[in-house]
Structure 1
Amino acid sequence: MYTSTFRTLRSASLAAMLALGGALLPHMASAASQNDVEARNKQIVTEAFDRWAAGGTTFFTDVLAPDATWTIKGSGPSAGVFRGVEPFVEQAVRPFVSRLSTPVRPVSKQVWADGDHVVIQWDGAGIARDGQPYNNSYAWIFHMRDGKAVEVTAFLDLEPYDDVLRRIPAPTGE
């Protein structure tokens, strides 16, 4: 009798553990997959920033999907929403970069990932064409899909950015 009861309890316990494990396995696999996505997205953004800091010039095409939406938060003439990489580069990046004698490069960064979002807080430094330093701190939030950012929200101090645009004349032909 004791052996029969023990076998029944052991079988019931084993059945319960298998049922519980079967219910948890999809969630565990999903969590592992989520961690893989986070790690991959963080790596993509980190490596692109590292190439940029080392002198690379393809950051935006490396990271952004062609139809990405880039939003610069804040108030002032440079805040706004840009739909597509080309409009963003032509309307926001190129006018600023053309007023610099040395490009802005990341000098420090912190990167976090949560699901399909990557957040990077970074400090950048460059020199304007009039010899004045440009320094700013940024926080960019990337919404990633298939290894590319499809939506970016950018926070920065727009005053120094807009000051460069006001202070330095655009090159001829711009």
Structure 2
Amino acid sequence: MSTASSAATTAANKEYIQRVMAELDKGNGKPFVEAMADDVSWTIPGDTPWSRTYSGKQAVLQELLRPLYAQFATPYVSTTRRVMADGDMVIIEFDGRVTTKAGKAYNNRYCYVCRMEGGRIKDLMEYLDTALVSSALEAPPSQALAA
């Protein structure tokens, strides 16, 4: 890839993800879901019940996002701190704040390392406080673990 096309790709990916995150910060998660490729791979490292690779947008929605958001008693609020890009790689640092139905504060800091392909998120590695995940969240339903 030429330097000019790499710079253009970097700028386009960064600007797109900044727009997506600005919407998430307003409580609108639809653009983030739309930003995922149908065959997205979303990995949460660690040893929590949520830690694994979710393969495909439907798995992300059904096995990760829906069971997660079902535990929230208040609207999820995010605050994007930084978006950095280099070619097809985009790094997003942000905070999330929410209270669970069990009354626990789930205020986590995230770092998403994303690989873009065709203008969509193809691979996402989610770094977060796994001790907080274990202490504040219930394990996902067993059907979500079957995949």
TM over 0.5: yes
Cα deviation for residue 130 of structure 1 reads: 3.0
Q: Which residue of 1 aligns with 2:72?
A: 100
Report deviation, 1:89. 1.5
Matched, 1:130 2:102: yes
Counterpart for residue 3 of structure 2:
31
Query: For the residues of structure 1 that align with 2:76 and 2:133, how far apart are their CA atoms?
Result: 11
Q: Is this contact kept in 2: 1:66–1:85, CA < 8 A?
A: yes
Distance 2:125 2:40 in 1: 11
Q: Match of 1:146?
A: 118
Does the Cα contact within 8 Å between 1:124 and 1:135 map onto a contact in 2?
Answer: yes
| Aligned position for 2:91 | 119
Task: Give the whole-Å Cα distance in 2 for the aligned partners of 1:132 and 1:161.
Answer: 11
Once superposed, what is the RMSD of the aligned Cα atoms?
2.0
Which structure has more RCO (C-alpha within 8 Å, separation ≥ 6)?
Answer: 2
Counterpart of 1:88 in structure 2 is 60
The DSSP-based 3-state class of the residue aligned with 2:112 is strand
Higher helix share: 1
Percent identity of the aligned residues? 28
Q: Match of 1:101, SS?
A: coil
Q: Deviations over 1:124-143 (max 9, x none)?
A: 11111233321001110110
| 3-state SS in 2 of match to 1:78 | coil
- What runs of 5+ residues in structure 2 fail to find an aligned partner? 142-147
CA distance in 2, matches of 1:140, 1:79: 14
What is the TM-score of this pair, normalised by structure 1?
0.74
Partners of 1:105 and 1:137 in 2: how far apart? 12
Task: Give unpaired runs (5+ residues) of structure 1.
Answer: 1-26
